Structure 1
Amino acid sequence: MLRKITPILFILLSLNGFAQTPSVEDSTMLKKIYTTSLVNGKSYEWLDYLSNQIGGRLSGSINAQKAVEWGEKELKELGIDKVWLQSVMVPKWTRGVTEFAYIETEPGKTTNVPICALGGSVPTPIGGIKAPIIEVKGLEDLRTLGTDQIEGKIVFYNRPMQPDLIQTFEAYGGCVDQRYSGAAEAAKFGAVGVIVRSMNLRMDDFPHTGAMSYGDLPNSDKIPAAAISTNGADLLSSMLRLNPKIKFHINMNCRSWKDVESFNVIGQITGTDFPNEYMVVGGHLDSWDLGDGSHDDGAGVVQSMEVLRLLKEIGYKPKRSIRVVLFMNEENGLRGGKKYAKVAKSKGEKHVFALESDAGAFTPRGFSFDCDDANFNQIQSWKPLFEPYLVHYFAKGGSGADIGPLKGNGIVLAGLRPDSQRYFDYHHAKNDTFDAINKRELELGAATMTSLVYLFDKYGVK
């Protein structure tokens, strides 16, 4: 009975848009990709140099330029068909000397706490500012309190990441508005500064920086903005409950400069059958300046480079042109991603697929996809190929910030999704360093990305 039904079911599934069953050839190819990455990979060696010999790569910095030169050199040494730099103007912001802050319970009685300036913040006046402090849980609290209770004070945003959310990026999204818009909103009510609880699920003494915006505030109304560590935030909150009249002191020397020229680094293997159909794999070359940016996003950079190297190493000749793009300025402007998409559009280039790695170098769990149902059905049919490598997560959702501007005209966008439970322990903080990288997890991620690129190149988009 089952033998008679099986062919009918196969036909029905095919008519409903499901891709053909992955072949033994595909299974063999993925095995070769994973084996090559784990036995003869280069991603870890690359990341060691990028992190330890160059270091933090804030847009517009000398280190960012060194990273551009390094990326161009390494891609050329792969012997791929084409490597070039794509000019892009980026913002330049410098942190200056180390920030300093303390809680004052009474004159002469102070407790130091760890802070760092948020990216794009204005400095404090020379010598810093000291003012009463008021705690809020979010932007909506400002309207409830009003100018009478906020004017002349430092606003302390203390809404933590929601710990019971398994998807930690969802928890991050639930509170990052206070970091990004907190200063702009508090300034409207007369605040003289803001302190924001770090976007971190762990209790520690590392403040986490990140981008913030003043919106359309005139320069004269901009106020300094800093992050405080999670331990510092809990201490400050406890002290406020005991004594609401305590004061907070901040001293920061950050500064914004005129935009400067930087570059996206691009390398390409030209397709044999469809050279004018482009597939992109990438990560962002810039990082914040507190650590060396190993997880965010040195890992994505070297994994993306490794995709092209692995394909060459195993002797695979892609049908479509595959590009690696090392994007500049994801962290505080997204200028690189926007520039790449703008140039691609102006040239009439047909991009069919783009994959980004920007979620750390932890064990790969799968991918999220921004695509239509027909393409997602095809993707789902490949899931059994990844299950031997414990890669099970295939879901519709976001992809990546840098490839987002490419959206439209049927392109499939994808994001590598590693295990995210520890990612925000390091995100934008001083401890995002090479010693936090696991070699095997990094290499598994590179192999997982390469495997997806291979399958999309072989079968195309729907």
Structure 2
Amino acid sequence: MKGKFVFYNRPFDDALIEPGMAYGRAGDQRRIGAIEAGKRGAVGALVRSLTSAHDDYPHTGTMNYDPAVPKVPGAALSTLAADKLSLLLKANKDLEFELQMECVTLPDEKSYNVVGEIKGSKFPDEIITVGGHLDSWDLAEGAHDDGTGVVQSMEALRLLRAAGLKPERTVRAVLFMNEENGNRGGTEYARLAAQNKEKHLAAIESDGGFTPRGFSAEAEPAIVAKLAKWGPLLKPYHASDLTVGHGGTDIGPLKTAVQPKALIGYDGDSQRYFDIHHTAADTFDKVNRRELELGGASMASLIYLLSKYGL
């Protein structure tokens, strides 16, 4: 591949009902595409955006380099641009491509997680963490990724107070910094939790504020079974589905640091999520108030159940 670009054009698999699964399966192109191109002497990597949408928005995201491999630039192409490039290549195998990029990695700046809590009335030393992340990719506002998760986490605590409920266990809202660029906010929160010898019962994360469908849980089978029994109580919010799966990136480091009984992810309908994910289209106008409110209510309900009955 010396002197050439490597063009990764594997699309989302729309046969999969869950877009997150399609994202995971296509994501290796972006994550390690520049590494594999560099190994082969290429001058750069061009990656089809990770989405089912057909538009002119490039989708950015995490990519990696290997210190042992020459670094070459990696660029996301919108799906329409990728389709066009594919057609041009079929018509002319000697096509020339010019890439101009102005990306720069700036020096690190100190940032902070934002934390607020309601102390438990009976078991204040047992903590239920709920959170989303403050940062976003700099293409847009990061409204769904993850302004909605931040708002829903605060709203869950507000709803408990507004309803006159006094959680029996401490409920802590954490607005994590730096999820997108290394998860350092989540890592530092977990480090401090371990250092302070805190007991975390569970942690919940929201990353995208679409219509509630339920929750995903990383937990032992007996804990998952207990969570599943609360399904009828969450059904009014259409949030009764429970799947076994990823809890969330922000709360992930808690798993080894303090070993909560469950890491839980808010599961909103994700069919539209990857249309705007990591693009200039992730703006406030894409957030539906009712969907946001129902998600916050679903999370508040689950938090109340965890607080009252434990795991």
**TM-score tier after normalising by the smaller chain length:** over 0.9
The correspondence for 2:247, drawn from 389, 396, 399, is 399
CA offset digits 1:321-378 (Å, max 9, x no partner): 11111111111111111110011111111111100001x2211000000111221121
Once residues 234 and 169 of structure 1 are traced to their aligned partners in structure 2, the CA distance between those partners, rounded to angstroms, is: 22
Describe the shift of the 1:308–1:388 C-alpha distance in structure 2 as closer, same or farther (beyond 3 A): closer
Query: For residue 159 of structure 1, what is the aligned residue in structure 2?
Result: 10
Q: Find the partner of 1:311 among 160, 177, 188.
A: 160
**Shift of residue 223, structure 1, vs aligned partner:** 1.2
Q: Deviations over 1:35-61 (max 9, x none)?
A: xxxxxxxxxxxxxxxxxxxxxxxxxxx
8 Å CA contact retained: 2:51, 2:275:
yes
Letter in 2 for 1:277: E
Given the alignment of the two structures, is residue 417 of structure 1 paired with residue 267 of structure 2, yes or no? yes
Over aligned residues, Cα RMSD in angstroms?
1.1
AA at the equivalent of 1:162: D
Instruction: Tell me the equivalent position of 2:86.
Output: 237
* CA–CA distance in structure 2, aligned partners of residues 184 and 364 of structure 1: 38
SS in 1 for 2:98: strand
Cα distance, 1:423 vs. partner? 0.6
Partner Cα distance (1:321, 1:385) in 2:
21
Local SS of the residue matching 2:109: strand
Instruction: Report the TM-score when normalising by structure 1.
Output: 0.66
Partner of 2:212: 364
- Deviation string for 1:137-166 (max 9, x for gaps)? xxxxxxxxxxxxx11111111111111100
Matched-pair contact (CA < 8 Å) for 1:296–1:427: yes
* Cα drift, residue 310 of structure 1: 0.9
User: Which amino acid in structure 1 is aligned with residue 266 of structure 2?
Assistant: L
The one-letter code sitting in structure 1 at the alignment partner of 2:6 is: V
What is the alpha-carbon distance in structure 1 between the residues aligned to residue 39 and residue 45 of structure 2? 12
1:450 aligns with 300
Task: Tell me how far apart the structure 2 counterparts of residues 323 and 388 of structure 1 sit (CA, whole Å).
Answer: 25
| Offset from partner CA, 1:177-220 (integer Å, 9 cap, x none) | 110111112111111111100001111111111111113246xx
Shift, 1:319, TM fit:
1.0
Amino acid at match of 2:27: V
**Residue of structure 2 aligned with 1:198, choices 32, 39, 49:** 49
Equivalent residue in structure 2 for 1:251, among 87, 100, 104: 100
Partner of residue 176, structure 1:
27
Q: How far 1:410 sits from its partner (Å)?
A: 4.6
Contact 1:362–1:418, Cα closer than 8 Å, also in 2 = yes
Structure 1 counterpart of 2:136: 287
Partner-residue secondary structure (3-state), 2:97: strand
Displaced runs of 4+ in structure 1, greater than 3 A?
A: none
Q: Is the 8 A contact 1:209 1:227 kept in 2?
A: yes
For structure 1, which segment, 153-162 or 389-398, has the greater mean C-alpha deviation from structure 2 after superposition?
Answer: 389-398
Q: Which amino acid aligns with 1:375?
A: I
CA contact (8 A) 2:211 2:291 kept: yes
1:436 aligns with 2:286: yes
Q: Alpha-carbon deviation of 1:391?
A: 2.2
Gaps of 5+ in 1: 1-149
The 2-side partners of 1:249 and 1:361 are apart by 38
Equivalent AA in structure 2 for residue 161 of structure 1: F
Q: Which protein has greater RCO, CA pairs closer than 8 Å, 6+ apart? A: 1
Aligned-pair distance for 1:309?
0.9
Question: CA shift at 1:397, angstroms?
Answer: 1.0
User: Which of 81, 90, 109 is the equivalent residue of 1:260?
Assistant: 109
Q: Which has the larger radius of gyration?
A: 1
SS at match of 2:274: helix
Q: Distance in 2 between matches of 1:215 and 1:275?
A: 45
Residue 117 of structure 1 corresponds to none
Paired with 2:177 and 2:104, the residues of 1 have a C-alpha distance of 20
Q: Which runs of 5+ in 2 are unaligned?
A: none
CA distance in 2, matches of 1:389, 1:310: 15
* 8 Å Cα contact 2:185/2:250 also seen in 1: yes
Shift of 1:380: 1.2
State the distance in 2 between where 1:205 and 1:339 align.
37
* Aligned match of 1:300: 149
Residue of structure 2 equivalent to 1:146:
none
Distance 1:385 1:365 in 2: 13
Q: Is the 8 A contact 2:199 2:260 kept in 1?
A: no
**Aligned counterparts of 2:273 and 2:244: Cα–Cα separation in 1:** 21
SS at structure 2 position matched to 1:255: coil
Contact 1:271/1:321, CA 8 A, preserved across alignment: yes
Match of 2:231 in 1: 383
Residue 226 in structure 1 maps to residue 75 in structure 2: yes
Shift of 1:303: 0.4
The one-character-per-residue Cα deviations of 1:206-259 (angstroms, maximum 9, x if unpaired) are: 1111111113246xx211111000000011001101101111111111212332
Amino acid paired to 1:440: R
Is the Cα contact below 8 Å between 1:184 and 1:217 reproduced in 2? no
1:211 corresponds, among 45, 62, 75, to 62
Q: For structure 1, which segment, 373-382 or 233-242, has the greater mean C-alpha deviation from structure 2 after superposition? A: 373-382
Q: Supply the AA of the counterpart residue of 2:24.
A: G
CA distance in 2, matches of 1:254, 1:305: 34
Q: How many residues are matched?
A: 309
TM-score, length-normalised on structure 2?
A: 0.97
Q: Which amino acid aligns with 1:188?
A: K
d(CA) in 2 for partners of 1:296, 1:208: 13
Q: Residue 270 of structure 2 aligns to a residue in which SS?
A: coil
